[in-house]
Structure 1
């Protein structure tokens, strides 16, 4: 019935080719216009997985409680000094805060500002006592530098120390640390090397370590998800403002962007750049292989035009069914072309084979319709069922892709039995002079003779793949899909190396402040935890003892740090004179000490370099001094901190208006290691099942995707088997279709383990495509076998399958050159698995047919 109906349709389209082509043109224009006006793009990655998953519910609850932590675009400013960094971040904040059209919020991290002001109260009593002793010992130098914050002032402090040595009040060993700090940059400049800035941590301890010349500015941009790069305008606004404010490398300031928005934008822009590279390569490869498959430029044009018609119609179907594409479902075009080109090649190769036999076009087209009605219909329906099996999964991106691709298979079938025959009639070609099939008779015979050994070896190899399945490499960290050299990625990884930044921290929403502290107390003893934070963390303990130390220190150092007058910056000539004088005094007082002698030599060499050399040394030695002294001066004015004293900005970060509280847990291990991340998430979720954060999202998303593909894969195989059994009416035929498909998948597992290609968010979407292609290939051979075709590898089907696989493989193989690591891995996986699947079909199918024939005899 189906064969007669499709044959009638094909013959009518063949005879009325012009009318069909015109109707197809009009319909394509109308459907294209509908798709263009009704099909949108939404690049919001949060919509890729079902919102009903437990971890997604926890994310929504936390984001609703603390919305200021969502969709962040973070600017990181590095400057030569803390003062310059502070000035730069404040100016940038003021400029961006005025852009209400681009930013919902622009703020400094409130925790950073709080700890800079009250940092000394968070030291232990012993550490604070040690710091106090060190500062009191350094009081003469602090006084000199506060009065003269220049290289001249520092050299004056050295001169004072040398005077103490000459009077026997101190020894040379007391001066060694200061000499070492001076000598490192002086030696570098003397040798013509750029001098590193002097670290003041040895003097100021944790004060310096907490106040490095780096500042953070947090923004919440207004995102435009209808654009491929949703935060592009906001990012460009930040960079433009920085340029206008002189915050450039030429002025010693480095600006970098990272955060969820920057990472997502970098991801999609890299994918787009990859498409610009791979698309021309893919088009060229597909066109060449199509030509070799059908041996005619006109037929290639007919196939490509039919693909365009089907693709536009599928786009209109997507607009009518889903309306909005996501970053996964946008791949429907790739899926459609990858399988629809196979249908077209099968149809055309069969037509040319029939025409070679009959020598006439019209009877050949009728025979093609009768011969391909069954195989193409079964293949299209089975492939559509496979794609539609992804509909009920929690992976929304692939669920939508399955719906669109499933509908696209039916559209491809309709186009191949209507538009393609009409185009072949309008673009006639001379008949073939030789057989369309491939000269593989000897291989056919060999596989039949050794069918038992071939099937047995394939079975053992498949068993090995099954055993390797648990060790299949998987990596669902989205950062690993991107180029690590990209600014947003490299900056995030740079920050992640320091646990204090909390890049891989997790957060837990608790009912109250008391519950938050109780939960933190459960996490604190764990060896996997570096630290925890709650709102109570901002109230330091043992304040009475610490405030007493600070009050004593302030009374002693206060006048020192706030001199009555500050000298004007010295001229380069004055600096040269001071360098020469200090070098002479070093030689006079401690000239017999090798360390002092080396410093004296280097100081003289710098002085000989003139103004440029001495100013560079001054920059290296004093660039961070003013900021450190100012920070110390502010911290010495510390007052008792109570819960009621906490700034509103800090309270808003850790408490909700209805009293719920946040707990942050920072891991100790490097969570770039997947095993460490898996272990940390397991430990954390056992204590707090509603925990959220980057590690939770990565692990739980990966598990959800794996479960979705397990569910869809098994249901797809079952549905395809049932469909084939009903349509082919022989369960043996259904098994013959599914068995090579499963074995090819297991061979792919071996290939992935051997090559080290990990399954990830990007390349996993190749699996539905491979399922569809594999089913189609196997169906052609089984239908031919039922029709009595012997020597399957010699048939025109093998030529069509081979070039179909090469066409699809080359199209996707071109993705391997993409700069986006995820896209490149998808190209590699498709190329590898498609090759193994086709090889399995070519080797296993003749052997299975031979084995069945032997058993029947």
Structure 2
């Protein structure tokens, strides 16, 4: 039978010869590398500063760094206190504030109360003139009535009802400035049951390790206060309970805490996942080999290769980040693939009756070529991620690509050298340890070739099933549907696979800091953290404030703008109001406060002070307010200036709304034509979201092109190259179809799985087609390497399936998508590709003029010594 394959090249022969002739030297080199790598691995640390993962040249990053230098960042670490007893709340807040004030090492500054007397006295200047006139009318009528009724000579011939003073509608409109109540100095909720302490640590929100350490310190300080405070108030960290006169419940939130919780939820989820993945890989390897020895060989090689990769990481990058910290687990699931294919092929060669050294040599040559191509293609698929602007992805791509090559080389050196060294001690021992596999028969008992029956029908049926499933991934309707909305099956199919922009859906369920953030939003009617706009001068700050507050139609996602000019009354309004106040003051000049009812006398004194309010400019704003918007004394000279804070009206956990908010506020163009950039977590996350979406699409395209080019370079045939990528392309298309059917959605985390699956999925078609091109029939090819393909796929599946045990929903979604993709790819390999190979084989036989063998002999072990013809 004529076949088409590549003869082993000189490098492959030399490499295989080295493994067999010098196994001891090879093992010593690997162990030496292991020792060096262990040292490097022990020195590896995880850089938890997420800001370092984004290009430092991005304008969003530069602006954030400016804000960090000015005031430590735009967000806060929030300590919320909850109790039904207001005096207890305030007393505990005062005590905690004293401790925070003494902590110069961690606390840059904090805010929990601001004197409101100045705002109260000048509030009349901020009120709309028509509302002030209405208030004047009501109050004047009420005071005249009270004076009249309080006169000892008051006689009423006909009884009349006293004039009632109802100002609630006006008070509710002007009871706060920038969502801060002007009734109370403290940051206390309107229901008087929650107090907020806003803490600005000495570091930024991206330095997660420092925030985590600070939370631990704060917990100890609060526990100590709980035991020693003279009032006997007990502090309890609780995100649901309401305290009382003797108990105060507290909790942490704000951008500092939510960033830590999300990142460390991933890290903590990965700890049990790594153990589960390793045990699952071990169990699957044992199940397929049915022996301990080959399992020990490949698993030890996998561990060694992973450690060498970690050592390589230390030597090249120097540290891990929150993304590359999952590198080891992924490489274990992928890397063991090389060892499994080598051992299965060695068993096949031994089963053909070859001596151990020849069997090892031929296994390296025959399994090594598809393994090498698979390693290069997979590594290249990872390297493609290096085009990403997000350093987390680019570093992951570099390290995962390099790790794939390292693991492939390690397992194709460690496993053969170890077996060869054992064979030198006892030539019969390799066969006894790893077992053998008889080359599958090519003909049955009746002398006919064993083949897949009716391959055309099999291909037709499987193609229809595949087409139907893949069609479910296509959005047939252009109607917009919320990704969070549950849809019935027919509508899911109609709308295809959807993208879930809601980042809240990726977090662990009921994350306390997020729940507390929602509670604060409800109680205070304010979002937890703003973004900030830097201006060099007060004049520029005024321009920005006027632009943002004067054009609500342009900034629909803004809830409020808080600036130093928030505390400056609009000049025209203040002038008109001052005229009313002066007139009013003249009218009430003759009033004797002592003549009013006792309950009104104190309020009347305050009221008279309010009437004395006169227009003032920005220089009249007290420093207690102004310093909130000014740079700190230690700020670099080039960053001296003022900040304007913007609070969103939309839920920033919703990615689409976050992108809308970022688009509206990223560049503020004022009336003078100047442009000012905003900075903050929302802008950074919006930029990162766009990078992920863009890179997800770009990397899939680049990886697909890379795979096609490499497959053509390997097979030198367009039909063979296309056939080899059938499992990959069809499997992933089916994965998207099943995601639509089962209402699973792509998101900002699992989208990165797509190029990884493309990279790993190449091995299925490569190993099957290379075995087929050795001259075997499709049935023999499938029986020869099918178990190895299935085993290596299931080890990768088990690695990703372990993510289902993670508490972090985003990680779980990555596991689900990866498992579906790997399993569909495997199913397509054993159905669609098998049928295609049978049709190719039949055509090959017809072209050669030969018929399937009928003399009862089996042609094949498919070893390196088989006859090959062009």
Q: Same fold (TM over 0.5)?
A: yes
**Alignment partner for residue 332 of structure 2, among 332, 337, 359?**
337
Match of 1:402 in 2: 397
Q: Once the two structures are superposed, what CA deviation does each residue of 1:538-597 show, in whole Å capped at 9, x if it has no partner? A: 113435268669987998599957999xxxxxxxxxxxxxxxxxxxxxxxxxxxxxxxxx
Match of 2:689 in 1: 702
Match of 1:458 in 2: 466
* Contact 1:50/1:396 (<8 A) preserved: yes
1:839 aligns with 2:833: no
Alignment of 1:275-674 (within 5 A): 275-358=270-353, 360-425=355-420, 426=422, 428=430, 429-430=432-433, 432=435, 444-455=452-463, 458-459=466-467, 461-462=469-470, 465=473, 467=475, 472-475=497-500, 478-497=503-522, 500-503=525-528, 505-510=530-535, 512-526=540-554, 527-541=556-570, 542=574, 544=578, 642-654=617-629, 662-674=643-655
Give, in angstroms, the shift of residue 782 of structure 1: 2.3
Q: Once the two structures are superposed, what CA deviation does each residue of 1:694-733 show, in whole Å capped at 9, x if it has no partner? A: 4444433211111122222222222232233223333333
In structure 2, relative to structure 1, the CA distance for the partners of 1:312 and 1:749 (3 Å cut) is: same
- 2:106 and 2:63 map into 1 onto residues whose CA distance is 28
Deviates more, 1:522-531 or 1:794-803: 522-531
In structure 2, relative to structure 1, the CA distance for the partners of 1:48 and 1:93 (3 Å cut) is: same
- 2:440 and 2:474 map into 1 onto residues whose CA distance is 35
Give, in angstroms, the shift of residue 485 of structure 1: 2.1
- 1:14 and 1:731 map into 2 onto residues whose CA distance is 36
- 1:355 and 1:3 map into 2 onto residues whose CA distance is 22
In structure 2, relative to structure 1, the CA distance for the partners of 1:138 and 1:340 (3 Å cut) is: farther
Alignment of 1:64-75 (within 5 A): 64=69, 66-70=70-74, 72-75=76-79
**Alignment partner for residue 778 of structure 2, among 778, 786, 791?**
791
1:766 aligns with 2:795: no
**Alignment partner for residue 110 of structure 2, among 92, 102, 106?**
106
Match of 1:803 in 2: 791
Match of 2:769 in 1: 782
Give, in angstroms, the shift of residue 407 of structure 1: 0.9
**Alignment partner for residue 24 of structure 1, among 24, 30, 35?**
30
SS at match of 2:513: helix
* Contact 2:273/2:806 (<8 A) preserved: yes
* Backbone CA RMSD of aligned residues: 4.5
Deviates more, 1:847-856 or 1:106-115: 106-115
**Alignment partner for residue 54 of structure 2, among 49, 74, 91?**
49
* Contact 1:78/1:85 (<8 A) preserved: yes
* Contact 2:531/2:646 (<8 A) preserved: yes
In structure 2, relative to structure 1, the CA distance for the partners of 1:673 and 1:377 (3 Å cut) is: closer
In structure 2, relative to structure 1, the CA distance for the partners of 1:357 and 1:324 (3 Å cut) is: same
Match of 2:863 in 1: none
* Contact 2:630/2:643 (<8 A) preserved: yes
- 1:407 and 1:704 map into 2 onto residues whose CA distance is 23
Gaps of 5+ in 2: 1-6, 144-157, 166-170, 227-233, 236-242, 423-428, 478-494, 632-636, 670-674, 847-870
In structure 2, relative to structure 1, the CA distance for the partners of 1:376 and 1:546 (3 Å cut) is: farther
SS at match of 1:256: strand
* Contact 1:809/1:834 (<8 A) preserved: yes
- 1:432 and 1:729 map into 2 onto residues whose CA distance is 35
Give, in angstroms, the shift of residue 54 of structure 1: 4.7
Give, in angstroms, the shift of residue 306 of structure 1: 0.4
- 1:769 and 1:382 map into 2 onto residues whose CA distance is 11
* Contact 2:693/2:748 (<8 A) preserved: no
1:821 aligns with 2:849: no
**Alignment partner for residue 726 of structure 1, among 713, 719, 736?**
713
Q: Once the two structures are superposed, what CA deviation does each residue of 1:162-203 show, in whole Å capped at 9, x if it has no partner? A: xxxxx99879x999xxxxxxxxxxxxxxxxxxxxxxxx9999
Match of 2:3 in 1: none
In structure 2, relative to structure 1, the CA distance for the partners of 1:817 and 1:643 (3 Å cut) is: same
* Contact 1:107/1:219 (<8 A) preserved: yes
SS at match of 2:210: coil
* Contact 1:356/1:431 (<8 A) preserved: no
Q: Once the two structures are superposed, what CA deviation does each residue of 1:577-626 show, in whole Å capped at 9, x if it has no partner? A: xxxxxxxxxxxxxxxxxxxxxxxxxxxxxxxxxxxxxxxxxxxxxxxxxx
- 1:556 and 1:437 map into 2 onto residues whose CA distance is 110
Give, in angstroms, the shift of residue 244 of structure 1: 3.0
* Contact 2:386/2:398 (<8 A) preserved: yes
In structure 2, relative to structure 1, the CA distance for the partners of 1:653 and 1:759 (3 Å cut) is: farther
Q: Once the two structures are superposed, what CA deviation does each residue of 1:298-347 show, in whole Å capped at 9, x if it has no partner? A: 21111111011101110111112211211112222123112111111111
Deviates more, 1:725-734 or 1:311-320: 725-734
Deviates more, 1:710-719 or 1:382-391: 710-719
SS at match of 1:104: strand
Give, in angstroms, the shift of residue 222 of structure 1: 4.6
Give, in angstroms, the shift of residue 641 of structure 1: 5.4
SS at match of 1:789: coil
- 1:630 and 1:457 map into 2 onto residues whose CA distance is 84
Deviates more, 1:346-355 or 1:531-540: 531-540
Match of 1:95 in 2: 99
**Alignment partner for residue 90 of structure 2, among 81, 86, 89?**
86
